[in-house]
Amino acid sequence: MSDRAIVRTSVALALAGAAIAGYLTYTHYADETIACPTGGCETVQASSYALVAGVPVALLGLLGYVLILGALWLPRDTGRLLVFAAALAGAIFSVYLVGVQAFELDAFCAWCLASDAIMLALAALGGLAVWRADTG
Q: Give the pLDDT mean for 32-58.
A: 95
Look at residue 117 in the predicted model and tell me its pLDDT.
98
Question: Domain range spanning residue 43?
Answer: 3-135
Whether 23 shows a pLDDT value over 70: the answer reads yes
The residues, any chain, with a CB within 8 Å of residue 15's CB and separated by 6 or more, are: 65, 69
The pTM of this model reads 0.94
Look at residue 134 in the predicted model and tell me its pLDDT.
76
What does the pLDDT look like over 80-91, one tens digit per residue?
A: 999 999 999 999
Give CA separation, 133 vs 22, 49, 93, 123, in Å. Answer: 32, 37, 26, 15
- Using alpha carbons only, give the angle 67, 97, 30 rounded to the nearest 5 degrees: 65
- Domain holding 88: CATH number? 1.20.1440.130
Whether 136 shows a pLDDT value over 70: the answer reads no
* Residue 39 DSSP symbol: S
Q: Give the total number of structural domains in the chain.
A: 1
